[in-house]
Structure 1
Amino acid sequence: MRAVLIKAARVAVALAVVTTGVVATAAPAQAAQQPSNATAPVAAWATTDSRRPNDTITTGDAVVGSWLDDRGKKHTAKSYFTFDLTRFAGKRVVGASIAGAEAHVNDCAKPRSTELWVTRQTGDPTWVRQPREKTKLPGGTGHGCQWDYVEWDAGQAVQQAVASGRLTVALRITEQHQGDPAYGRRYGQLRLFVQYNTTPDAPTGLTVSGKPCGDTPLWVVRSWDGTRLAASVTDPDRFVGDPEARFAWWPQDAPGERTEVVTTAHSGSPAATRLPDTLADGRTYEFAVRGEDGMDASAWSPTCRFTTDYTAPGSPVVASDDFPTVTDPAKSHQGVPGELTFSAPGAADVVAYSWGDGIRQETVPVESPGAPVTVTYTPTGFGRTQLVVRAVDRAGNHSASTHYEFHVHETAPGIWAERYPEVGFPVDVLLLARQPNAVTFTYSVDGGPETTAPVDPAGPTTITLPAVTLPSPVITGWTTDAAGRKSAVSSAEIRVDGVAPEIELTPYDQVAGLPVELSVRAAQTGAVSVTYRIGSGEPTTVPLGADGTLRTTFTTDLVGWHAVHAVTRNAAGVASAEAETELFSDSGAPTVASTDYPRDQEAGGPGIPGAFTFTSPRPGVTAFRYALAYGEEQEVAAVDGAATVQITPMSPQSYYVRVRGVGANGLTTDDTYYHITVRRWLPQVASPQFPPGVAPGQPFEIVVTPTLPGSTEAVLAFDWTNQVVVPVGPDGTARHTHTQGQWGSSIRITTRTATGATSGEAHGYFPVG
């Protein structure tokens, strides 16, 4: 019993698939989902005691049977529990169990004799006002003397009590043993576990191929993905599993030809099914949906109707006096509106026409089904023109296309201007009318004010634009005939020669801060001044020389690639196009020289100072900052852009001397890296005992003679581990007595000065004699 109710095993409740008629088919339903599980809350509980006949006891354990108190007086008790079933109203109870743990057993030698009875629902129970016991629940067995889970089957009791919203049970010892203290027991709180199922909600939101159902039938056309029926199906027990949707459809005039299909309504998505291709054309069908969860089924939804229409209308007929076909003389002109009439003879259900010229597309409805429609069309292009027209019926079927072709005369005027007029000068523009009976030209420049000029009937009309400016202007124009009709619009760009000046830099790459010669030669007629700008600096305006050329010198602290711009202007202030070139300014990293430590050569030695001279090619350098390798950076003042410093390397290895120049105005040059290699001054090592040598375990003297000037001690490391520091004596040697090893003695020797300079490491080996 416990496993069935607590683990909620599947409950196989079959729902029949009803099909009638000769076309009926059905998909098999899925396996029944698991019921939901819930714990009913305890609304009240109490223990009654024969020694306290009028009391309702609501503290401590739930006591049943008899027991003796401290004075030897016998008590007999029953306990009552009332459970709240309101949350299960309207739900189908599948099963239930009541269970509790034993807190105390009077005598384990006596078998468990606890019973659970359904009682009448009364007020607070007492020993003298005990609710009448109606039905004993099966169960109450358990393992061992004191069991933590004693269970009773309450499924039928809950099913009968759910309508009242409460269930009261009495926990007691059997009538036979109720007065025997040996059978008495105590229990903790009882719990009611309920398995239930909620009927799915009635489906809503029915659609046919995405169109919502309404009071009138929907039209259905044939499509590549078929006709799709859908509905929203939900299950209040949403945490248990996805509900199923049963779709049923039938011809409106033959309800017996009913077909049902079951699909799964996945969470968050409508349930859907696709209709077969066997539906008849021109027939009205109905469909409805209900939700199922394998245990219960909802009510059927309201029906939805749809009518099939698989027959497209015939190709439309196009007629027009304004736009006769290409086989007739052309009458239409670009930009002049005209009318076309579309009709579909024999198609009484046409409700609209879809038409377009390849650039624009529109759909125009008809006043009544099957009626023709007249549209107004204004050609924007010219030459051979084609309209594509299709009829659309009330179901949404499109007919095959009708291609209607006609010829359109060009009306947009021709516009030509002088090629590459110089900026600041006037330019003549020719306007040629193409519109029949054109009387005026209207034009504007760059969207400015409109100007009107009469059309010259003898040929092109010439207009003169005043001084043209940059960027190249665009003139837009059209003509108007005597009736006030406008032609199509033409536009033309007047390509203006900006006559940009020529710029020359000498040199074009220079150290920042050094002078650069700038030469600007004007190409603009009548140019009197030039404005130039270096990088993102402020522009400078100066007059041009008599020969139209500017020659000047400038300096800049900019570093890297920078644009140099120049524009000329004439006396009227008209600017030329802007010329541009590039200047590269080097940061002026200093040069480094040393005779004591020549670049990339082995020289000097540890602790031996060397003179290093720094020279800056960049003006304004007042100091140098330098460091040996990754040592602390130091600064030295510069005199006339140069300085000499003493640097003392302390060990024989390769170094970079890093130097950069700085100025009072905050300028900083790039770094220069000067590579040096410090010569090693390896000590000489000898022993008076070698040759011939000594045997293992015998001492011998090691004599170290430094070659590094100023060495004060020698560091001897034996066999890569033991290290000994030996001072250099007055005779200029360091002496140490060492005991010969079993396999000879390997030694590494370094000498160092009092300032910490090290000679470099010499290696030696004294074999066994």
Structure 2
Amino acid sequence: MSFGTGLRAVLASVGVLGLALTAGTSPASAADGTPTAPTQLFNGNRHCSADVNRPTHLWARDGLVITGIPGTTGDSLVTARYQIWPVADPDQVITVTRDRAGPRFEAPVTVPAAALTDGQTYAWQAQTVAGDAASEWSAPCYVTIDNTRPANAPALSSPNYPPDEWNQGGRPVTFTLNANGDDDVTGFQFSWQQDFSVIGTSIGDYGIPQPVDPYSHSEYFKRADAPGGSATLSLIPPHGAGVMTLWVRSLDRAFNGSATTSYTFRVGSTAPTVTPAVPSPEFGKKTLFTLRPDAALQSTSPVVGYSVRTSDHQGGTKTVDVTAAEDGTAQVELTLDGIHGAFIQVTSRSANGWVSDTASWNISYDTTPTVTSDAYPENGSSGGVGVPGTFTFAPKVEDVVSYTYSFDGGPEVVVAAGTDRTASVDWTPDTNGFHYLTVYATTGSGIRLAAEDYFFTVN
């Protein structure tokens, strides 16, 4: 949703509240202070313009919300009175009031949409009324009603990333935006997603609006060089490779948005390479990895660092940043201790902010223990009730210090590993039929390894 649409929704709700209060209450009558002219004047949650030659342009199909803080030297409730008239016809005055307004708080009212003409400039002012006393009128504010969005979608092109070929990545994408013949356009809104960002107005203490100039958000907005003019963007795309689309629309002074246009282009892979010091690193061992930049990327936009993300296939992840040498290479030492394997993802980062697509490296590990039994072989039928059997556990990885086992889902029992890293346990069945044994090993560093299920049948 657009900035303009989001703002309109806020104003509509505030305006309805203002009308309801005006219609359902009576003017303040007992005053304990002297009324003073209202301050903190806003229209459409934007600052009041005191310059008739530079009015605030506002969308007002749902009415125009105007507001100010009524002034008084006392603490009693007062009435905020507003007058609005066309600059071209000062005799056509409309008066709107907000009764029982609290001192020091904004007192918004809504001028009905039916009383406003698209394209017309209006002046409005505010006054505080307390009992039979009234303050001076505030200085006028000027607004122009603009309920018409730009007629044409903008023109959009890129001189360095043509749309019909795979482009070498690394340089920012230059976009040229043009109002496409619409002199009402003063800027543009753009997004890498089809939905545009919403920028609303925060409401501060005492109900005072805190307007935000959308063009201060350069990641979403760009001013035109002149009304009906053009603008140039230099953007790093959101992905290091692939098919990408930028969506753009024109904005007028009221932030009404035009129809949307888009530009699709293609970027070839700029992913680095990831190489371990040994072809098949062992589980739990520190391994040195060398990271090398894509050669074409390095010549276009030198790499200054890498982001290295490691996953252990159990949901655990860790990300480290590594600084590159002058030639764009880097080395990082990683301990591969995922009990089912390791999955490494690496992106490079260039000095201009370009982030490559992801390079990946992975390895699988079997860390389950080996279980053997002469009396009760796996998947076999043997022995009998009261016939003891010995079960031996052996590791597939180093540094195993203990085993945890249970028969038939019963309580877990821990047995220490011997100097050869194996362990044996004796068990005597008290029932015949199907049985199972579950075992996992634990390393000296406290890693619980993958479990092994051992099935057998007792005669």
Check if 1:392 corresponds to 2:267: no
Decide whether the 8 Å contact of 1:315 with 1:401 is kept in 2.
yes
Specify the SS of the correspondent of 2:83. strand
Shift in alpha-carbon separation, 1:405–1:580, aligned structure 2, 3 A? closer
Alignment counterpart, residue 311 of structure 1, candidates 148, 157, 175: 148
Letter in 1 for 2:393: R
Shift in alpha-carbon separation, 1:228–1:532, aligned structure 2, 3 A? same
Give me the CA root mean square deviation. 5.2
Paired position in structure 2 for 1:530: 401
CA distance in structure 2 between the aligned counterparts of 1:261 and 1:352, rounded to whole angstroms: 34
Paired position in structure 2 for 1:501: 369
Shift in alpha-carbon separation, 1:331–1:270, aligned structure 2, 3 A? same
Alpha-carbon offset, residue 500 of structure 1: 2.9
CA distance in structure 2 between the aligned counterparts of 1:437 and 1:202, rounded to whole angstroms: 63
Alpha-carbon offset, residue 388 of structure 1: 0.6
Alignment counterpart, residue 419 of structure 2, candidates 543, 566, 569: 543
Shift in alpha-carbon separation, 1:366–1:288, aligned structure 2, 3 A? same
Alignment counterpart, residue 112 of structure 2, candidates 261, 264, 276: 276
Q: 1:5-40 CA deviation, whole Å, 9 max, x = no partner?
A: xxxxxxxxxxxxxxxxxxxxxx9997675547xxxx
Paired position in structure 1 for 2:235: 377
CA distance in structure 2 between the aligned counterparts of 1:287 and 1:369, rounded to whole angstroms: 26
Q: 1:312-332 CA deviation, whole Å, 9 max, x = no partner?
A: 22311012222223xxx3142
Paired position in structure 2 for 1:691: none
Check if 1:363 corresponds to 2:216: no
Gaps of 5+ in 1: 1-26, 37-196, 455-462, 505-516, 554-562, 582-769
Alpha-carbon offset, residue 373 of structure 1: 1.5
For these two proteins, the number of residue pairs brought into alignment is 352
CA distance in structure 2 between the aligned counterparts of 1:203 and 1:520, rounded to whole angstroms: 88
Structure number with higher helix proportion: 2
Decide whether the 8 Å contact of 2:287 with 2:334 is kept in 1.
yes
Shift in alpha-carbon separation, 1:207–1:486, aligned structure 2, 3 A? closer
CA distance in structure 1 between the aligned counterparts of 2:33 and 2:323, rounded to whole angstroms: 77
Letter in 2 for 1:551: S
CA distance in structure 2 between the aligned counterparts of 1:270 and 1:33, rounded to whole angstroms: 16
CA distance in structure 1 between the aligned counterparts of 2:92 and 2:156, rounded to whole angstroms: 44
Q: 1:558-589 CA deviation, whole Å, 9 max, x = no partner?
A: xxxxx9963368xxxx99862569xxxxxxxx
Give the structure-1-normalised TM-score. Answer: 0.38
Shift in alpha-carbon separation, 1:520–1:307, aligned structure 2, 3 A? farther
CA distance in structure 2 between the aligned counterparts of 1:303 and 1:451, rounded to whole angstroms: 60
Paired position in structure 2 for 1:423: 283
Alpha-carbon offset, residue 271 of structure 1: 2.5
Any residues of structure 2 matched to 1:637-716 within 5 Å, and which?
none
Decide whether the 8 Å contact of 1:529 with 1:542 is kept in 2.
no
Alpha-carbon offset, residue 404 of structure 1: 1.9
Specify the SS of the correspondent of 1:206. strand
| Percent of pairs with identical residues | 23
CA distance in structure 2 between the aligned counterparts of 1:332 and 1:485, rounded to whole angstroms: 18
Check if 1:212 corresponds to 2:47: yes
Paired position in structure 2 for 1:289: 126
Decide whether the 8 Å contact of 2:402 with 2:442 is kept in 1.
yes
Give the structure-2-normalised TM-score. Answer: 0.59
Any residues of structure 2 matched to 1:36-115 within 5 Å, and which?
none
Any residues of structure 2 matched to 1:2-401 within 5 Å, and which?
35=30, 198-216=33-51, 217-223=54-60, 225-236=62-73, 238-239=75-76, 242-267=77-102, 269-277=105-113, 278-313=115-150, 314-325=152-163, 329-358=164-193, 362-379=220-237, 380=239, 382-401=241-260
Decide whether the 8 Å contact of 1:499 with 1:577 is kept in 2.
no
Any residues of structure 2 matched to 1:505-516 within 5 Å, and which?
none
Specify the SS of the correspondent of 2:181. coil
CA distance in structure 2 between the aligned counterparts of 1:537 and 1:367, rounded to whole angstroms: 76
Paired position in structure 2 for 1:521: 393
Decide whether the 8 Å contact of 2:369 with 2:451 is kept in 1.
no
Letter in 1 for 2:221: T
CA distance in structure 2 between the aligned counterparts of 1:487 and 1:304, rounded to whole angstroms: 48
Specify the SS of the correspondent of 1:202. strand
CA distance in structure 2 between the aligned counterparts of 1:528 and 1:391, rounded to whole angstroms: 65
CA distance in structure 1 between the aligned counterparts of 2:448 and 2:24, rounded to whole angstroms: 81
Using CA pairs below 8 Å that are at least 6 residues apart, which structure has the higher relative contact order?
A: 2
CA distance in structure 2 between the aligned counterparts of 1:419 and 1:479, rounded to whole angstroms: 22
